Structure 1
Amino acid sequence: MNDLVTGDAVVLGLRPAKLPSRALALVIDLVVAWTAYLLVSVAVVLSSGALDEAAVTALGIASFLLVLVGGPIAVETLSHGRSLGKLACGLRVVRDDGGPIRFRHALVRGAVGVVEILMSFGVVGCIASLVSARGRRIGDVFAGTLVVRERVPAGRSAAVPPPPPWLVGRFAELDLSGVPDGLWLGIRQYLTRMDQLDAGVGLGMAERLAGELAERTGTPAPQEVPAAAYLAAVVHERQARDARRAFGGPGGSSGGVIVGDGGFPHDASRAPVPAVPTPAAATGDGPTGSSASSRPSSTSSSAPQSSPSSPSSPTSLSSSPPSPTGFAPPA
């Protein structure tokens, strides 16, 4: 499912990089890689004067593999798809669904790139990019990746709408390992363009995608949750997991308290219990400790009675409906 075509003949897709920008980024990367390789080769030759010819040949092959093959793989893995050339041209390597690449994607791209770019001087890669509808070379096809443009006009950028706050973190235990990248791409494309679709077409597409997603995860979609909101919540959960893996941060609010528009938690099971302030007279910390002992009944009877009816108690928070979020799935 590379392209998702709606009933209105609207093709939802990413913005793939064109061949000129990709070629310029590749030239920059090759200049940097070959410069580093020449420096390493000179250092190897100067330091291997006492070695025999076989050892020098082995060091040359190892230098080639480490610098020209392992170097780009390490750079793309650590920079999440942004080498020096792609950074200069505003490009990034992403998965087919728009997520950040991992080591296996960079490894496949680098391994195929040895034949596709280094041994053929880029001719095979240029021909494959011209033939592909999305400008992908052979390494992208095998790795399931795509080179996209990051520098796009602000008015044309489309972000996945966030789910309603009461759904954030609800699918934290969902198994997403069986969902293919093509389905993720279709869901992402639908969410970014659902406001431009006809109501009936959008609803049917959301239900179809939700059914496929529930089949892949092995967990049925909640009946009380609209299909579009369900898709947005699951995509948000996957983005949070990718952020935690890629950057080591919290990656979203799926693991903590979900705070809505009014500053109140929407999930009562995760809401912190507010501490009831203890009067100074009850603890004897006030200026007159003897007056605290003379009024034991008044202080002990007033503190616990405020919990069930107080506006700041967890019971009243859980009974209050979630605040509106502005998320409007197709009717």
Structure 2
Amino acid sequence: MQDGIVIGEGVLLDTRPASFASRFLGALIDVAVDVAVVLAGLATFAGTGVDVGADLGRILSVGVLVLLMVIAPVTVETLTRGRSLGKLATGTRIVRDDGGPVRFRQALVRALVGIGEIWLTAGSVAIITSLVHPQGKRLGDLLAGTYAIRVRGGTKPAPPAPVPYELRPWASTADIRRLPDGLALSVRQFLGRTSMLHPTSRIRLGTELSREVGRYVAPLPPAGTHPEAFLTAVLGARREREYALAMASRRRLAEEGVTLHRLPHQVPDPPD
């Protein structure tokens, strides 16, 4: 059984921790890009011929180091939600331990710790920590609560399950409101990983999720409905309704486009 991310609801996400090689290569690419940008900026500044004194030169040096070690990586990771240029090239992403995208706080902690474990030690501390930790975390990841995952090369997700046949009459008339994004994600991940859960955990999680989803459904399904069948029916019914609305909207727009294209030729001239 391969590793993955277990979110707060105990659901295993279909992702795997990135290998040490991909993390190391991605870090090298990021460092090379940052250094190249800084050197290009310094070369451009030097080409202007502006004479700076010793004091101003020291201030500029400190500013460049802060930009290179902290500001640039924090900005890139925050704006791209954990996907720098190096991580894009290696098919990895930095996420929180619960599977969510990194925020400014996590990116800042990673960058500040990286000053010591990457820059001041030539990356030796980060390499040793990543090799020892089972999920390939470095010290910055341990303190920030993050780690790198693979976002390429995983298994293709299975197609969504349809509404169970025995629940179709109920699903066709039930009022099913929009589920919160977090709850909908938990249900989808649970249904996709039921076979990998322990039977006790499977029953407990299914019952808890059914209770939460039941707050957004009226009326509830017939008594005795299995929690997993109920959850499958809710997601399937919402998916079918959203698809029907999207197709109706597309047809309406197509009809309006035809009407608008034909309109100038069929509107009679106003009477004098």
Provide the TM-score with structure 2 as the length reference.
Answer: 0.62
The answer to which structure, 1 or 2, has the higher relative contact order (CA under 8 A, 6+ apart) is 2
Deviation at 1:23, TM superposition (A): 0.5
After superposition, residues 10-29 of structure 1 pair within 5 angstroms as: 14-29=15-30
- 1:192 corresponds in structure 2 to 192
Distance 2:38 2:31 in 1: 10
| 8 Å Cα contact 1:18-1:135 kept in structure 2 | yes
Aligned to 2:140: 139
Q: Contact 1:126–1:137 (CA<8 Å) still a contact in 2?
A: yes
Three-state SS of the structure 2 residue aligned to 1:51 is coil
- Structure 2 counterpart of 1:169, from 161, 171, 178: 178
1:263 aligns with 2:263: no
What is the RMSD computed on CA atoms of the aligned residues?
4.3
Q: CA deviation at 1:50?
A: 3.3
User: Aligned in 2, Cα 1:79/1:44: closer, same or farther, shift over 3 Å?
Assistant: same
1:35 corresponds to: 36
Q: Larger C-alpha radius of gyration, 1 or 2? A: 1
Which structure 1 segments of 5+ residues have no match? Answer: 5-10, 215-219, 237-256, 266-331
Tell me by how many angstroms 1:263 deviates.
2.8
Task: Output the amino acid matched with 1:54.
Answer: D
Distance 1:45 1:264, change over 3 A: closer
Residue 206 of structure 1 corresponds to which residue in structure 2? 206
- Structure 1 residue 48: Cα displacement: 7.5
Identity rate, percent: 34
Task: Tell whether 2:103 aligns with 1:122.
Answer: no
SS at match of 2:17: coil
* Cα deviations by residue, 1:256-311 (Å, 9 ceiling, x for unpaired): x986178379xxxxxxxxxxxxxxxxxxxxxxxxxxxxxxxxxxxxxxxxxxxxxx
1:1-331 alignment runs, 5 A limit: 14-45=15-46, 49-153=50-154, 156-158=155-157, 167=176, 169-171=178-180, 190-197=190-197, 201-207=201-207, 224=220, 260=241, 263=244
| Cα distance in 2 between the residues matched to 1:125 and 1:229 | 47
Aligned partner letter, 1:81 = G
Displacement of 1:104 in angstroms is 2.3
Structure 2 unaligned blocks of 5 or more: 164-170, 247-272
Residue 202 of structure 1 aligns to a residue whose secondary structure is helix
String of CA shifts for 1:49-92, please: whole Å, max 9, x gaps: 43321111001111121133211222222222111111111111
2:72 and 2:227 mapped to 1: Cα distance?
44
Task: State the alpha-carbon separation in 2 of the partners of residues 231 and 57 from structure 1.
Answer: 63
Count of residue correspondences: 220
Contact 1:136 1:146 (8 Å CA) reproduced: yes
> Counterpart of 1:136 in 2: which secondary structure?
coil
More helix by percentage: 2
